[in-house]
Structure 1
Amino acid sequence: MRKDLPNSVKHTVLDDVQGLGLGIFLCGFGLTVLTNVGLITGQTAGIAVMISYLSGWSFGIVFFLVNLPFYVLAYRRLGLEFTVKSLISVTLLSVTTELIRMYWDVGSLHPALGAMIFGATTGIGLLAMFRHNGSLGGLGIVALLIQDTTGFKAGYVQLIADAIIFTVGFLLFPAHVILWSLLGAIVLNMIIAFNHRRDRYIAT
């Protein structure tokens, strides 16, 4: 590694727009595949997916509503910029999933392939958003708040939350749905674990 290279990257507004836009589109694509094959996922998106299945309401609308209570926490914990970007990202993701559904018929797709497509595209989408100081809000904010106030690691909080969500899923859906859903969650989290390293990419 060359020592004369800067250790941070300054993002322009255009950088943020294209990075967050790409992330939102990829996440919307992945979630559209996920819901079309009838699977679930963890975090706030997983809660919204299950509510959508059980109520018959659109995922995009449910996802937007589920995230609303977390913005106050986001503002207090991570500041105005992060909160505004998260609000815009969640809103645009909700719109994107609705538009993709209107113009794309997924058709026949095996749940295993659907889970892997979801995990890969959503994982890459989240990486793009993380690198531009954005997020899709939700339980990750609560996890960071708990870590700051108690010292209990945010990653463990999210694992516990996902365990609860998937346990509830086992009670509501057939076992094979949950097993294929776990495959998607594993792919997604492995992509983030291997690629989201702040010591490799520091952006301001």
Structure 2
Amino acid sequence: MQKSVEDARPHSLFEDVYALVVGCVLIVLGLLLLRAAGLTTGGIAGLSLLFSYLLPVPVGLLFALINLPFFLFAGRVMGRRFMIKTVLLNLGIVITAGLAPEVFRLATIAPPVAAFAGGMVIGMGTLSVARHGAGVGGIGVIGLWLQQRHGWNAGRTQILFDAVILGASLTVLSPEAFIWSMLSAAAISGILMAWHRPGRYTGY
């Protein structure tokens, strides 16, 4: 018999920390794969990649800077605990992305592989932290809030926002890169639609 939310056993501190580390590593890896192929995607990850092609600022730092206004929103509507975890995750992303070039260099990758693999690992990273009461920030926080408050599927909400972000990327990307970027966004949303449904997972 499926446990109710009230009966669910809370995650331990170690489980929460490990989930944030896993999510951080996966999200940064996905960003590196997409960046190497000159692609973007949806959500804050897509915005940070898009701006990284226009500004001489590391993608990890852009990720955190774009998220700043959403931290206050997270604390207001999702609670202080959610906000703290989300801030810690973003700090981890900045640090990990900054260290990544020293330990990981990707010379070349085919755009179809980068789009699919990059989208999947970002999606799994997002799922990892969402299941432990955190978010990657920005649109992800809004999607999680709408899911908890109104029962809207986080994956479908993400798709709507992604359409706007990807539309803006047409001013920077080639038509071919735009098509593969759409695939990466679909891969992220597909992960959330399949495995982050209300009632399927009740632990925090």
* TM-score (norm: length of structure 2): 0.88
In 2, are the aligned partners of 1:32 and 1:101 still within 8 Å (CA)?
A: no
Structure 2 runs not aligned, ≥5 long? none
Q: What residue number does 2:109 align with? A: 109
Asked if 1:79 is matched to 2:79, the reply is yes
Q: What residue number does 1:176 align with? A: 176
Asked if 1:167 is matched to 2:167, the reply is yes
Mapped to 2, the partners of 1:75 and 1:56 lie a distance apart of 31
Q: What residue number does 2:137 align with? A: 137
Q: Tell me the CA shift for residue 108 of structure 1.
A: 1.6
Structure 2 CA distance for partners of 1:113 and 1:161, relative to 1, 3 Å: same
Partner SS state of residue 115, structure 1: helix
Tell which deviates more after alignment, 153-162 or 112-121: 153-162
Mapped to 2, the partners of 1:2 and 1:172 lie a distance apart of 48
Q: What residue number does 1:40 align with? A: 40
Mapped to 2, the partners of 1:117 and 1:64 lie a distance apart of 23
Q: Which amino acid aligns with 1:114?
A: A
* TM-score (norm: length of structure 1): 0.88
Q: Which amino acid aligns with 1:20?
A: L
In 2, are the aligned partners of 1:28 and 1:93 still within 8 Å (CA)?
A: yes
Number of aligned positions between the proteins: 201
In 2, are the aligned partners of 1:86 and 1:135 still within 8 Å (CA)?
A: yes
Mapped to 1, the partners of 2:132 and 2:178 lie a distance apart of 32
Q: RMSD of aligned C-alpha atoms?
A: 2.5
Structure 1 runs not aligned, ≥5 long? none
Q: What residue number does 2:50 align with? A: 50
Q: What residue number does 1:9 align with? A: 9
Mapped to 2, the partners of 1:203 and 1:92 lie a distance apart of 23
Q: Tell me the CA shift for residue 93 of structure 1.
A: 0.9
Mapped to 1, the partners of 2:151 and 2:12 lie a distance apart of 35
Structure 2 CA distance for partners of 1:52 and 1:103, relative to 1, 3 Å: same
Q: Which amino acid aligns with 1:26?
A: L
Mapped to 1, the partners of 2:87 and 2:39 lie a distance apart of 25
Q: What fraction of aligned residue pairs are identical, expressed as a percent?
A: 30
Flag the structure with larger Rg.
1
**Structure 1 residues 52-92: Cα deviation after superposition (integer angstroms, max 9, x where no partner):** 11012110111111111111111110110000000010110
Tell which deviates more after alignment, 54-63 or 191-200: 191-200
Q: Tell me the CA shift for residue 158 of structure 1.
A: 3.6
Structure 2 CA distance for partners of 1:8 and 1:2, relative to 1, 3 Å: closer
Mapped to 2, the partners of 1:148 and 1:203 lie a distance apart of 13
